[in-house]
Each structure stands twice: as structure tokens, then as C-alpha cells.
Structure 1
């Protein structure tokens, strides 16, 4: 375990946004804190308070109302700017930002904010291919005005340089020599203004390193060397500098190599396992080669170091610190002079909801010394229960009816010194329990009217919560045995000797570290922070050695699990009162975290006893509530793009020292409130617009003295949040009276309970979002119920859950004052193929199924990838339109698709002959290109499954009525072993027997396979094999890998000619994969038929953003199909980092296998037009097609190797992906030209993360 902070860049964020990098390449326990816990950063350091021209006063006298209107215009314009250009229909958003900032420039000419933000907005508009020819001139003018305002600003020079470096989509060269020359002059000046800034030096290097150069010029090399010298711990700079020094035969590379050995230590062990690459050995080899002057070896070895290091998240994070987005330079506040002259007015919002917190007398037994408590439905009867930790015992309190007294139902003796509780389902013990009748009028039991998602809460969760206790005596797991009819739940300790060795555990959190649907445990103790991976059956193993963690000697008191930087993995915010360990455990995926202390911008969070997560100002960025010696504070942030979190400002709500804090919405007005406590008692604060927090001064009856614990929950089920408060002597229930004066929605997110296992059952760690009345709210799911206030709005216009698997799910127009049970839907994989028939596109199937990249398998390996594919398209599915055949390839899932070549073959044949491709997923030798011809179908005389069910009615025609030859699944994609048995009848010494099977497969993915690998009782799916009887009637396997249909419905051909061992022609297709079959037939000694094949010229190929097709109704046991005519443009998946192919013509990329790829991301589509042959189809013949593609597909699943990034790009010569240190992409001038011209687009993260604050997208064709 390395306790040093991860390497990070320092200095100004920025520069080189448009420069292309030619690269080689769930949660619980942190919402509130306990009283006994009290007593250089990842974040951007861009300015957030603008400077004014010191020589000139503010323009004109402004009234208070004038100033407020200007602030509102500024905030609105920033919102439009951050929404960004996310598609053709979003242009009006950034245009609105331009208009707003232009007005502010006129109104406040002495303020920097309008000028800088206007220049950024103009720059962003330039990156849209649909921008008009005058956009470049307008962007140059805006940038020049900023330069004139502050000629000493490196940021202003960077903006102006990037205006010049935006590729011209109308010019094949992309960026002209003249524009590049201007940019270089501007960047040279930026380096003079800030000579210690790594960012500007790297931008200058990239601007000078022309794509045709084999090595950089002396000036370019110097620029990169200065960038490295300014930030020598940045892995991206380190590897770039090593490569350049080697190319330039610089003996000083030895010093860089010596430094690299230490800097690359965090990834060396994993690289040895993942790539079979010894980084330390590479370093030694390169040093030795340098000393003997063997520069060819130095160059090849440093290249290996680069290839191995750059795919890691830590390296890509370092890249993001030197190649940044213009949004990171958005100014958010006017100058200090402006605010001094025009102080912020008091919040103007409806604070009239009168609330009191009334003591619920005699509702609880007298419980002294409460250390911690949790509120949740422990026995699955639909009523809230209490888990209470006292010295030496854990107590379960339940009710028989809503509002009745809680009584002790179960208890467990625990070691002395246990102080904290975590709770959620940990063992997947799905079961249904009796439902208890609730009081008439119980609002949360009402049914909502939309989408059939509302239910009695007792119907939502099917797995009981288990418990983790921690404290002085270490940590222990407690299994909740809840069985219907067994007299209620019982609490059973589960032994874990290693976890019990910990001492002084001060904090803990449940989090799906690997995004494999199992909840893992992170603990802070006297041994430091330790990470415990779930192994199944409530067993956990220490996986801490894979991470770089904070110093061992700092007792962390708060851990909050959240996707802090909006990059689709769960991080952990860490805090403790001394300020020595306040920062972020950044999730690098694959069970690896990197400790990053918060920087000086977050110094107001220097000594918190407790922090709580909140979205306070609706700007789609997580904020932090803190309580400690400095009182109660609200720290506000902005997240301009994934991976970057900027401090905006800190609001101090109360100077009184507090030890604990939580976020809630006690008055249901939609603004998150806070409750803080400590030795001085309980205080409540009301949230206000724009992220303000003010004392609420609500009445709290009958409560005085020091407070140890506070938890919020709707304990009486009336629709507002109540409090449970523990003092040293007893536990109190404070019932909210008045909160129901406003409307509300309670959400019960449910991870799949049907054994698909895509998310933990209680959805812990998922993101819940809501928009009502134009106001955006967000919470991380850290309990079974997520409560939102709606204010006076009667419905929530949109509710979205982003599950820990990355899947997002929307609910529209959710009625207020209801409880909504939101079960998780599913995701699948691979690009879609649409074919045009009758002048309209229709869904055909999916493709690239044999070509996964980085797919982890259940045995711990990487799935093989075959790039070529041949799909049969029936002639009725593809007919001429406007003189051409039209095919559309789309990426509609969380993936990147890579197409190197696309070819359409027309196959003419006699009308009484069918043709089938030999395509199937499996080893290449069983899928070699071949066209099977069928004139005489034969059907098995018997078809049964292992239960003896007659399957012939379902298997004799291809009609979408699929046979399901298994009773249940174990998990998604995995079933008990099963087979279909086919009796082919009496055959007389056949020479050629070919079996044709039509079906589809429900796949696993990397996360599921990782879970299989960790579970000692579950193996991954075994793909179909062929078994036949021998002469003794014993069944024997004769084809171990027969192949299977890839994805949605396809037909595969299996050669059985050498499979039979006797004259018994029965066949069993045996598997544990989740495959559904529609039709089975076979041929015997079928003579070949005449075929005429011709390759049809590709006339055009256009890449564009299309969106996502709407689903069609799903038939039983059938795959999910989609309707091309119904399109939603809103982004459906978290963004992938890396470069994608720019929109527009891509015809030349698809002609040959040359590694120049068309790279598609989620929402992209590519329309292909093929020529119709001049010769007509002969009389009595018909025409079918074979779609031949060469390419790959990479799933964005959190456990896919390099799945969070479109890069490094695959290439035909690679042996595996991730490719090893002895392999690398092409480095020719033609390939660099391709990267420069085509690989220039990045996905806009705002399109996904800011979805609920964007205007609604149209749905239609």
C-alpha cells in the first residue's frame, strides 16, 4: 500500500483544448456523522472571481434591483453556456449564452466576466460543424476584446490560440498554416506570461508538433521539456517527454527514466498482471541502452513504457490536467468591487411553510447510550424499523402498524466499543414477505398513475438488509435472517477474522467498488483506510493493496461515497477534524483508488468533524455541508466537465461549533435543508435558491442538551421527513408537523430482483435526479428511500435514476404526494443495423458481436476478439430506394464502435434456394466466410429439453415464438446447465449434415463476469457444445465449441458431419448460457447451388448524431427490438472520454482495412449508400445480401478494460486488447494525418449529466 498522494499537476488549468493527443494508446453510511467521531488536488484551480480593470470604475450607478437583474442574467447565461452544444437541436442554448454575455459586455464594460465568458461561448460554437462561416470571425473578435481588456492574461492568450486551432470542417487540411502560426505566437506569449505553467508549455508543444513530423523541432522539444519540468509527476507529460528525448537521442533521458521508476510505482504491479509488462525492467533496459548509445532500443523501450502507462486512469487524469476544456475558464462571479458595491440580497423565496418538530411521546422504549442508528424496513413488511446500536448490543425495533409504538423484536450481543452501523442487502437473499396493512390515508401507499412504477412500498424491495458494525473492536458483519412465518427476523453474526483484527474503526461506507453489483466495505481504522471486496456469502477480502490511500496515522471520521467528478464511477470523499486527510479517494476502476487531497481552493473544508453531500444550487455539481470547529458551512462547486470539480464559494451558515450534520428537506420546498448537532443541541437550517443556507428557527419541542446522533426519515409515512435524535440518556422521535404543506415524491429504487444482478438490490450508490418547476435536484442513493420535496408543484416533470451499472432510466410526470417503486430496466450491447425497405429504415439486428474489446471473462481473462463479420440480410429487408441500397449503423448503447471497412455483397441465387452465412460467435476457424445453400429443409422428428418438454411447436418455424429450455436464470446471461435434444431420425451414412439454429443470446458483460470470477460457487456461462450418443448409448461431447448467435436473432450453421459416434442421430445442444431458440432445421448432403456474388460500391457514408430509437413492445422470451421511427435525441448514457470521428463524410475510412477507423459513440449514426448492380436479377432468381464489416466494439461497462475511454484505438495487427508493450498503433504520416483530420470530436459530458436541466428534447423521426 502506497500512502503518498497520487501524481497531480499544479498551476493554472487550461490551454490546448483543441489539440489532438496522438496517444498510444454504490453507497451507504456517509450522510451523517456521530458525535463521538468529533472531538494539491484533483480540483481545478481556475479563477472563480473575476478581476476588474483597476484603472477604471464600474460603469454607471446601479440600483440594487439593477444589480440583482445583472446577477440573474449572468447566472442564466452561465447555465446556457454549461449546457453546451450537445446536438443540432441544442444550438439555441449556447446562442442564448452568447446573447446574454454580449448584453453584459455592453452593460458592464469594465467587468472581465462578460468578456471572458463571451469569448468562451464563441469558441464553443466554433466546434460545431453546423456553425456558419462567420462564426470564426466573431470568435476572433471576442477573443481580441478579451486580450485588449487584459493583455497580460495567459488565459486570454489561450482562448485566442484555441480559436485559431479549431479545425475547419470545410477544409480538408483542418487547420491552415496561417492559423497555426497565429496560435503559436499567442501560446509563446502565454508561456512568457506564466513561465512555470506546464499547461501552456504543453499547448505550445502540441501546436508546434506538426502531424507530418517524425520528431519535434528544437523549439517544440524545449516546450515539452519546460512542461515536464513544471510538473514532473504528471504521468502523461513524463511518458511524452521520455519518448521525445529518445527520438532526439538526448542523454538526459537517463534522469527522466530514474524519475519514472518512482512515479510509475502505483501502476507497476498492475501492469505486470494486466499486460505482462515489467515497467522497472523497461526502465533498466532503456538506461543501459542509453549508456551504450543504442538509441533504437531506447526508443522502442520508452515507447513500451508509454503504451503500458497511458491507458491507466491515473495517466488519463493527468492528461486532463494539461489538456483542458474551455468551460474550466468560465468565470462565475463578478468582481469583488461589484459585490462590495452591491451586496447579495437576502433570499427571496417562499419560506412561509410553518413547521414544528413535535416530540412523539412514548413511541420508543428508553434506550441509553445510543452509539448509532439506522431507519429502514428490516423485516420487509413495508413499515420503517430501527436498528439501534448500544454499548454491547444491537437492537431491532419494529412496529405492527404505522404510528404505533416501536418494540424490541430482535437483538444481538456485540463486542464492546462498536460505534457505527452500515446497512443494506449484502447477500442477495431475495424473498417476498407478508404485507402489513397500513393506516388508511397512508400517503406512501398510494399508487402513482405513471408508468406502472408506483406501488405500496412493501412491494418494492424483496431482499432484507444486512448489517456492518464497526468501532473500537474492529468490524463485523451481521446477517439478517428474515423468514416469513418464522416469528420475525433474527440477527446472526458472521465471522471474519481479518476484519476483526482492525482496531479503532472510526468510519465506514458501503460502496460498489468494482461496479459488479456487489456492495463492498471501506473502513477507516488505526490501520488506515482498508477496502474489503465482497466474495459472496457475506465474506470479504482485503483488496487495499491495489490502491494509493491516505496516511495510516490519520483517523478519518467521515467517508461519503459519490461519483464526485461525474465520470461514471464511485469515488469517496474523506474528511477528519485535523485537516491532514481531507480530500478524495478517486476511483480509477478495477478496484483501484487514488488518494488526492483537496487543494487550497477547498481550504474552508480544512477541519470538518463531519461532511454531508448535497446538491444545493441546482447546477449539476455536488456540494458539501460541513460541521466542525468552524461551525456549519456550505461549500459550493461547479463541474464543467467529467473529471473536473471547481470550488465556487463557501457559505458560512453558523459559527457555532457542531459535530454532526445531515441534509434533508423538512419543508418539502425542493431546496435541500440541513440539520446539525453537537454539545450545544440541535440546529436546523433552511436551504434557499442559489445555494444559500440560513437558520430556520423552527420550533423543536422538549429537546435540550448535548446530542450524539440524528437521523432523518419519514417515520410516520405522511410525506414529510421526521427526525430521530439520540442523547446520552435516551432516543427521541421528533415528528414533522407542517412539512406536508408542500408536495413531495418518495422514490424506492430497486436493483433488479430477478437474478439479473446489474445493481445491488437497494441501488446504493446510484444517482437519483428530479426536475420540477424548472428546478433540478439530485441525491445519491444511500438508503432504500430517496425523498424529494416539490414545493407547490403537483408533479415532477422528470425523474431519472443513473444506476451504478451506468444505465439511466427516466420517469416522466410523476404525480406528487406518492411513493414510486422504480425497478431497474436492462442494458444490452453492440451496434444496431437498420436496413431500408419500402423507403423507410427498419431495425434488422446488431453487429460486431465477435469483436469485443477489453471484455473481462469469468475466468479472469480477456475475451478474444475477431474483427471480421458476415451477416446475411434477406432481400425483402433491403430494397432499392432512390437508385441505391441504404443501410444505417448506429451506436445506441454505452459503447464505442470502430468500423475499419464496410462492404455489401449482393448474392443472386435460384428462388427455390435459401442462403445462410457461416457467421457465428466462436473461434475463427468455425466462422470462416462461407455461404450455405439450402434447398431441402429437414426438421427433427423430436425436440425436447431436459425436462422432456416437447419443443417442436416452437422450433418448426421462425415466428418470434422462442423456446426457453431452462426454468430460471442464476444471473443475467447464466442459467443452470440445460440442453435441447434433437432427434434427426434415420440417416443413411450421410457425408454432410448441417444444423441450422435461429436464436438469440442474453449476454453477460465485464461487471457480471467479474462477479462470477469472485464467487466461488458460480462459474461463468459455458457456451453451447454438441453431445451425441456413442455405441453404448452414453452421451459424449464431440464439438466443444459449436458457436452461438451473436446478440439479437440470427441463424447459425453448425457442421455435424464428423460429430456422430454411432448410427444414433440424436444431438444435444448443451449450455449454461441464456440462449433462446426460435427455429431448428438441418440439411443432409445438400448439393451446392449456383450463386452470383458481386461487391456493391460504397457511394457515400455520412456520420451524424441521431439519438436513440424507442423500444417496441417485448414479446415473451424475445429480444428487445426498437422502432427507427421513434427517436429520442437526449443523451442516454454517461459520456466516454477520448476522441471520436468528426461528423460528416467518412466514405474514405470504410473502403479498406487500413486502421483508419470511423469511431462512433452513443447516439451516433452512420448512413451508408451502396450502388444497385447494373444487371437485373435473372428470371426465377432472387437477391439476398451479405453485410461484411471489419471493426470492433468496446462496452462502457465500468469493468471493461479501458472501457471508460474510446482510446487507445484498436488496430488490425494487435494480438489482444488492451494490447501489450510490444505492440502499438501505426505511427505513419498517413495515420497521423487521419488522426488530425478525423479524430477531433469529444463527447460533451453536459449532454448526459445536465440532462434534467436542459430543455426537453423532441421525440420523433
Structure 2
């Protein structure tokens, strides 16, 4: 049996088991629907669960506690309440309370695997590794098919590479995972190394190597050479050398799409792992009740704005590479093309590098969404010549093409929706013979659903025409239309009679159109497609049906008797580009009691309403559109949006019968520092700016993983408080921060002198730490910008008034090229010259960098320095001076021997979004006495703070934060992994090693240094401070590795 066949048969066996159980329950619900009513207790329990999970995701665990306590009160013998209440306490850092809840849960439901899994996380958090492993083993015993639990046990067993017994256990578990996920390269790489460590079954390592060679055939040959060399060493029994090369091969592939996909199959990146679904016993108590039909009719067709089909193709706007702009997939009958948006109003054909294998055929219809629930957008194409194709998104611009629904012949149209309300996108496919529904198991594998039997057609759409919350099916054929109502119990009934009977030949044509017998014979007057929108903006969905040349509107009359919600998404587009402007590809969910609906924003609609801005050039505007029917429900529990960059937003308790414009909330990067000034804590700056783990750079490479080793100048305004120098380090954004070491450096120096340090960011190596003591600062004789404007006053002092105040560019962090030109005047250049530039930078992020890396016309250029030659030409003498490492930082640039003529002018040139606030220079060596003292923290306490109020002192200043106004509500979804328990953490900050303080959003470390450990300040001297910190930052961007 060859490898692809083996993979097809065994792939995700566990999901099959889960899916079959759901089918049995679904069948039970349908059978009992007509005799039972839903228990109000059950509906209330689901509402508590919905609200609790929403509060957890919105980082408001205190509110979630109340919801889950209520849930336990209703269902004391269900594990879900105890598990999620423990997670809520866990996120509040109330670990003891979380442990007590889990113990209560295990007493009530002793055989629930998830409770033991969460208990193991609590033990890990408490540093009790042995007990954590014991609970993991119990969780696996209760649920042997849990991939994540088994993989976590594997990682534990592989920690000690010299423990042969642990390695043998890891091999057994890895072989088990290999049977379940045979194409997971993480499993294959771990298994090959474990086998080499144990020196057993080397032949299996050879087989794994061959499989990896097939699975990774499209990667760089420079990477493959390590796999090939490892396989060669296996053949000659050089086991140590083979193991080394397999490990190198794994390490250099960790940022690859295949490896990241493999990790995603094994680990859920959610802190505490809340249970999102009730167990099967609870579900068996649910009853699917038939929705009561309402009187709905459809109007006679009328002409609509003509949209010519043009050539025979289908086009889809989709951000397939999650870089914040919309790319274009074009499906012709004989080929498929992907044109990547390079961000400069141009599109590059990247079909050859996108599709694997590259298709030599086309299709007729396309739909998109996350079909395998792995967090990225996939595509399904209906192809008359090749059947249905799934384009599985591997990320980083790669789509793997596989054939699905092999029994389906000559499909012409496909649509996707979650019509069974289980959180996975199902599909409906029509051929010219019949129309079929397919249920999604949850992993992108589809099973035929026999509840709908219909003739075929030319097009098919899901539509909730009566707003009852259950998706109906509309089929468009050449001369007729069919409509099937979903009654909420998985039964579809034919209600085609609601649509007036007519064919294209019955309708009047436009004056410019003449239908001839030849047109009729060629099919030009047949129905060829349909669209579903709320064209008259009255809260129910209308039907638009078309021939090749004409469009006719069939209006829905009465569907809005039931409740509805319509959602338009609007991303922050100007100067940002984190998400496409319309939110296309975002996941939208609505939860209302026992009704759950989910969809993806897949298309734009043209708004013809009178609400369009009259100042626009066109009387129409395009917008995203999502519609949910809600039946008799007057208020939903939660509306949830997950943007394409992975950031979730929730609207709590929205009322029905309204249109909601939901705007994107921005995230950011880097922890913040506050210092005590004698009266209050003041925001000073940001920290760890150099160490963004997993960030993709603007040239498409991975940023350095070196720790930050960050020095920031605090100045002389920090004052003691109760015998200590006290600072606050906060994490306020969507990221995880790792602090390895913190030191306070006191620099004592004479009154009348100042000290500065170099606080710039450059690619490695970072500048060496040096304290620059200055007696006299000099300002340039003149300063102008790239437009010739005098900016001397703007650069004269640090005041949040900038030399160049940029207009936003297409991408946050990149603007038009600009410079400041400084004339240092008549100075002697034989002496040492230092230039000091203070300012801040508005940075890019990983998703923006991915977009920039694809755009050849946009090339972010670090600031560089030019001077005049004897010929009067500007020449670059320092190619890269760096940028401020965050907010309000100073660069120290050595100009000694850099001038090439008698002209003392210089230019700082860049197209990065840098704001220069102050510029001065010094001459010669300043003989200043200094006493430098480094001290470790005496105490450090980690606790929850919340989020200080954000403000900007001037329109172009960085965002600053008011420590006196703190919002205690959590704002961000927790990123997966373990965080340091609250309490004393001073020991973890003493030196740079493998033990770090790991902070979540909303956390704060109060770090204190006793004043008496610093020397007594001399008369006539002042004390300035520098903070040293070492660590890393990892943000929640979807493209961050």
C-alpha cells in the first residue's frame, strides 16, 4: 500500500468516532422531535455556558465565575460546569480555588477525562510535576483517543533523553499517534528521533525518512540535505550522527506550514482548556423541536441592476495568506489561478507556488471557509471535469489540493454553511442530475446526508428565508427554481410553491436585449445562477436570479416576522492593514440559548440603500454582510467575531432586529514600564522591544530568537517610596511576556551633567551598553525636513512635537520616504562627535510583514545617514543607524570621521514610520566622574492589575497610559500555555537562565530595590537610573510562529 492511500484510510480516525456518535444523537433528536419539548432548565444551562465562555474569551473571568457557578447549580452532575469554573479561577490566578473546584468535580463526575486534564495543568502551575503527570495518565486512561493528552505525556517522557524506560513509553505513544495521524510530520520526526535514541527498529526510521521525503518534497533543498544525510547515516549505522541530523532537520522546519499544521493537530492553544461542548449524556436530553412556520411569500420577479456574466469564470476575493489584504482566486473551466495582492494595486500570479500539486484543470463554482477548523481559510471548488476539490490551507501561502466526494459526478455548483449547528462548515453540491447535502465531521471530511433529495440544477445556495434560525436550500435550474425548508429537526420539506412559477422566457427583457431562437437554443436565456441578499434592507433575505445577460429580483415578503441580526465588519484600514477592510474570511457566531449558528464572511454586497454617503463618487458602496435568523428570540446571548488575524471580539447580549457594525479592536506589542516620581506612578516606556519570538520580518524570514538584553534610561526623576525604588512592569496587550532578569542601575554624576544610553533597535548584533556622560549639549545650526520646512523648534526639546508628522501609509509602520537635514555649523571634525536622536517608531507586526514581504514596491528601509561630498553630492556613510526601540527612545550615533567635505550638513533618511522629537550633538570627550551601581531586586510580586487608560498627548504621539485610571476588566483572549503563579517572583528575576516570570495580559510585576543597598549620594551630585531587563515577547498574531 503506498503512502497516500495509507493516509487516506487512516486519517483522523478519532474524528470519525466522534462524528458517528453525533449522528446517533442527531437521529435520536429527530425521532423525538414531535413528542417532546425542550426542558427550560437545559436552555438556561446552555445560556450560562454561552455567557461564561464569552466572558472567558473577553478576558473577564470574574464574570465567568458567576455564570459557571449558576451552571453547576442547575447541573451538579455534569463535568462542564466544574471544569470551566476551575478555568475561570485559574485565569484569575486563584489556583487554590481552581483546585478545590476540580476536586469537587472529580467527586461528582469521577470518570471525566477533561477534569483530570485540567487538574494536571493546575499541578504544573504549582510546580508539582509528578502529580501533573499522574493526572495526565489518568486523563489518558479515561480517554485513550485524546491526542493532546497523549502528546503531552510524550513530551514529558522525552525530556530525559537518557531514561530508556521513558523513551520506550514515548515510542509506544508515538506509534499510536502515527496510526491516527500518519501524515503529521511532528509525530514522524519525534518518533524517528526516539527510535534512534533507543537504538531499536532502525528499519522503521528508514521508512519514516522516506515518508518525510514525500510529505516535504516541496521544501528548500538546503533543508532537505539534513534529512538525506540522516537517512544515509542510518544506512551505515551511524546512529549518533543520524539523530543529530534528524534533530537539526526538525529545528529548521519548525516554522514551516507543515510543522505548524502538525502542532495544531496535537495541541490546543487555549489557557486552561475550557470545555466548549456538553457531553453526550447531556446532549441526549436535548430535543430538536420543529420551528413553527410563518407565512412567507415571494414577489413576482423584477429587473435588477444588470451584472453581465462576461466570460465564463468564477472569482473569489480571499485573504488566503492572512496578511491583511484581499487576494483573488479565479476559477476558469480549464484552470485555477491565484493572484496575490502585493499591496500596491497590483496582483502577482502565484499559482505555481501556491497550489500543491498544481492543478491542470478548472471548475465552475467556489466557496471558502475554515473547513477543517484549524484556524485558516480553505477553499472548495466544484469542477465538472474533476469533481469536488478541497484546497487545504497550510499557511504561509500554501494550498494543498485534494479530491473529495469521489462518488459525486460532474458537480456544477457548491455552497457552504453550518446547517446542522455543530460549528463545522457543511456543504451542498448540485449536479445537473441531483442536489446533495454533506455533513462535515469537523476535520474537512464530508459524509452524505440523505435528508434532502432534490433534482439537480445550475446553482445552489443556503438561505434562511423565514428567519427561523435554520438554513434552507434554494436550487436554481435552467427553467425552474426549488426551495426546501429546514424545520429544525434535520428534515427538509419542498416549499417551492412559495416562489412564483416562471421561466426566463416568461419575463420582459431589457430594451437593449433581444432574445432570439439562437439564444434560447444555446442556453443564453436559461437561469444560470442565483444570489442571496437583503436587497430591500427589511430584515429578510431576497433572491436574485440571473441569465447570462440579465438579473431579476424576487423579494421576500414576510420572512422578517421572525427575529434577525445583520452584521457588517469594518477593519481599521488606514495605516494598519492587520485585516482586510471588510473582514472577509472572518468567522461569525451567534449563541442564543440552545440555538447556535456560525458562518464565515465570504462575500461583499453592493448597498443600494439611501443611507449611502452622498459625498461618495458612486451612489453605491460595497460592504460585508452576514445575516442570522433568530426565530422568536428577542435577545441573543453572544455575538462572536474572530477576525482573520485570529483576534476574537464578542458583543454580549445583542438585541434582535438590528444591523450591527462591528469595528476591529487593535492589538499591540511589548510590556510597559511605570516609575514612581515622588507622587504617583508615571508611564515611562516599553520594554523587551528587541525580542519578538516567532515574528516574520518584512523580508519573509523569521526574526532572531535571542533574548532582548534591554537597557532603558529612566533619568533622575524616579524617587524612593517607603525606603525602596519601586517600578511597575505591566503586560497590557495581546501577548505573552517572559522576564528572565531585571536589574536597576544607578548612575551618580555631578549636577549640571546628563547621562544618555543608546536605546536603538538594529538587526543583530545589538549595540553594546555604554553610559554617555555629557557636560554640554549643542543643537544644530539649522534643521529642515524633506520638504524644506524649518523643523528646528520641533527638534529642540522632547515635547511630543515632531519634525515630520506622517500621513498614514498603506501599511502601519511604512510611509513615504522622508528625511531630516541637520547642519551642525562650523565645528572641528577631528574630535569625537556624537549625535543624539530621540523619538519613537510605529512598528509593523507579523501579519503586516507577511504582506510587505509580498510587495516588491514596498521596501521598508531602516534610517541611514548621508553627508555631502566635495562634489556636492549626498553620499551614504552609515547604511543602517537603527530605529528607536519603541516609545521615547534615544539613538546615539558616532559621527567621528564621517564627514567627507567641509560641509557639516547630514541627513537621516528612511521610509519607516519614525517620529523624531529631539536632536542634539556633543563634541569631544566629556571628562565626567560617575559612580555606577548595579543591583538585583530585593522583592518582586506578580499580580493582576488590569489596563491603565490609554491616551495620546498630541495627535502623532505614541499611545501613553494613565496609571491612576485602571480598568480591571480583561480585554484579550488568553494565549495557550502556562503562566507564572501570582505572588513573590523575585528569585526568578535574579539572573538570566531558563527560569522566567511568564506574564499574561493584565498582569503586573511590582519590582522593588531597597534604597540602602545603593551608596550614599555625594553632595553636589544627582542620581540617574537605567533599567536592564532580559527576556522575550510572543504576541497572538495568527502569523506569529
State the TM-score, normalized to the length of structure 2.
Answer: 0.80
1:282 correspondence with 2:102: no
Q: 1:862 to 1:1088 in 2, by over 3 A?
A: farther
Alignment of 1:506-521 (within 5 A): 509-521=316-328
**Partner SS for 1:952:** coil
**C-alpha distance in structure 1 between counterparts of 2:645 and 2:356, whole Å:** 24
Aligned residue among 757, 780, 784 for 2:601 = 780
**C-alpha distance in structure 2 between counterparts of 1:972 and 1:859, whole Å:** 16
Alignment of 1:513-592 (within 5 A): 513-523=320-330, 531-534=338-341, 538-545=346-353, 547-548=355-356, 558-564=365-371, 568-573=375-380, 581=388, 584-592=390-398
**Partner SS for 2:481:** strand
8 Å contact from structure 2 (residues 750, 1020) kept in 1: yes
Partner of 2:130: 175
Alignment of 1:864-943 (within 5 A): 867-876=708-717, 878-922=718-762, 927-943=767-783
Partner of 2:518: none
8 Å contact from structure 1 (residues 674, 684) kept in 2: yes
**Partner SS for 1:304:** helix
1:612 correspondence with 2:441: no
TM-superposed deviation, 1:734: 1.7
Q: 1:205 to 1:223 in 2, by over 3 A?
A: farther
Alignment of 1:454-493 (within 5 A): none
Aligned residue among 1040, 1048, 1061 for 2:887 = 1048
1:243 correspondence with 2:214: no
**C-alpha distance in structure 2 between counterparts of 1:167 and 1:180, whole Å:** 11
For residues 1213-1244 of structure 1, the C-alpha deviation after alignment (integer angstroms, 9 at most, x for no partner) is xxxxxxxxxxxxxxxxxxxxxxxxxxxxxxxx
**C-alpha distance in structure 2 between counterparts of 1:48 and 1:284, whole Å:** 44
Partner of 2:532: 712
Partner of 2:616: none
TM-superposed deviation, 1:793: 9.3
Q: 1:935 to 1:222 in 2, by over 3 A?
A: closer
Size of the alignment, in residue pairs?
987
**Partner SS for 2:211:** helix
Aligned residue among 296, 303, 315 for 2:247 = 303
Q: 1:718 to 1:134 in 2, by over 3 A?
A: closer
Alignment of 1:848-1247 (within 5 A): 848-863=688-703, 867-876=708-717, 878-922=718-762, 927-964=767-804, 969=809, 971-989=811-829, 991-1016=831-856, 1018-1085=857-924, 1087-1103=926-942, 1108-1113=947-952, 1115-1124=954-963, 1125-1127=965-967, 1129-1132=969-972, 1145-1160=984-999, 1162-1174=1001-1013, 1175-1199=1015-1039, 1203-1204=1040-1041
Partner of 1:420: 313
8 Å contact from structure 1 (residues 201, 223) kept in 2: no
TM-superposed deviation, 1:952: 1.6
TM-superposed deviation, 1:943: 0.9
Partner of 2:40: 69
Partner of 1:1239: none
Partner of 2:298: 357
8 Å contact from structure 2 (residues 382, 414) kept in 1: yes
Q: 1:919 to 1:1056 in 2, by over 3 A?
A: same
Q: 1:1140 to 1:102 in 2, by over 3 A?
A: same
**C-alpha distance in structure 2 between counterparts of 1:13 and 1:105, whole Å:** 32
**Partner SS for 1:301:** helix
8 Å contact from structure 1 (residues 356, 698) kept in 2: no
8 Å contact from structure 1 (residues 3, 549) kept in 2: no
8 Å contact from structure 2 (residues 7, 183) kept in 1: yes
Gaps of 5+ in 2: 27-31, 505-525, 605-621
Q: 1:770 to 1:1108 in 2, by over 3 A?
A: farther
TM-superposed deviation, 1:916: 1.4
Partner of 2:205: 256
8 Å contact from structure 2 (residues 711, 759) kept in 1: yes
TM-superposed deviation, 1:950: 0.9
8 Å contact from structure 1 (residues 848, 1191) kept in 2: yes
Partner of 1:731: 551
For residues 189-238 of structure 1, the C-alpha deviation after alignment (integer angstroms, 9 at most, x for no partner) is 876xx8xx988876765566675954444752552364256345432322
For residues 81-115 of structure 1, the C-alpha deviation after alignment (integer angstroms, 9 at most, x for no partner) is 75596698526646755764675576xxxxxxx4x
8 Å contact from structure 2 (residues 288, 489) kept in 1: no
Alignment of 1:112-123 (within 5 A): 114=78, 117=80
State the TM-score, normalized to the length of structure 1.
Answer: 0.67
TM-superposed deviation, 1:855: 4.0
TM-superposed deviation, 1:956: 1.3
Aligned residue among 449, 459, 462 for 1:660 = 459
**Partner SS for 1:765:** coil
Q: 1:794 to 1:1144 in 2, by over 3 A?
A: same
Q: 1:776 to 1:157 in 2, by over 3 A?
A: closer
8 Å contact from structure 2 (residues 307, 551) kept in 1: no
Partner of 1:90: 61
Aligned residue among 3, 22, 27 for 1:48 = 22
Alignment of 1:52-201 (within 5 A): 68-69=39-40, 71-72=42-43, 75-76=46-47, 79=50, 89-90=60-61, 93=64, 96-97=67-68, 100=71, 103-104=74-75, 114=78, 117=80, 130=93, 139=102, 142-143=105-106, 156=111, 158-159=113-114, 162=117, 165-168=120-123, 171-176=126-131, 180=133, 184=137
TM-superposed deviation, 1:1076: 1.4
8 Å contact from structure 2 (residues 533, 541) kept in 1: yes
**Partner SS for 1:299:** helix
**C-alpha distance in structure 1 between counterparts of 2:365 and 2:936, whole Å:** 63
TM-superposed deviation, 1:136: 5.2
8 Å contact from structure 1 (residues 943, 982) kept in 2: yes
8 Å contact from structure 1 (residues 753, 761) kept in 2: yes
1:677 correspondence with 2:476: yes
Larger deviation: 817-826 or 718-727?
Answer: 817-826
Q: 1:255 to 1:329 in 2, by over 3 A?
A: farther
Alignment of 1:815-834 (within 5 A): 828-834=668-674
RMSD of aligned residue pairs (Cα, Å)? 5.0
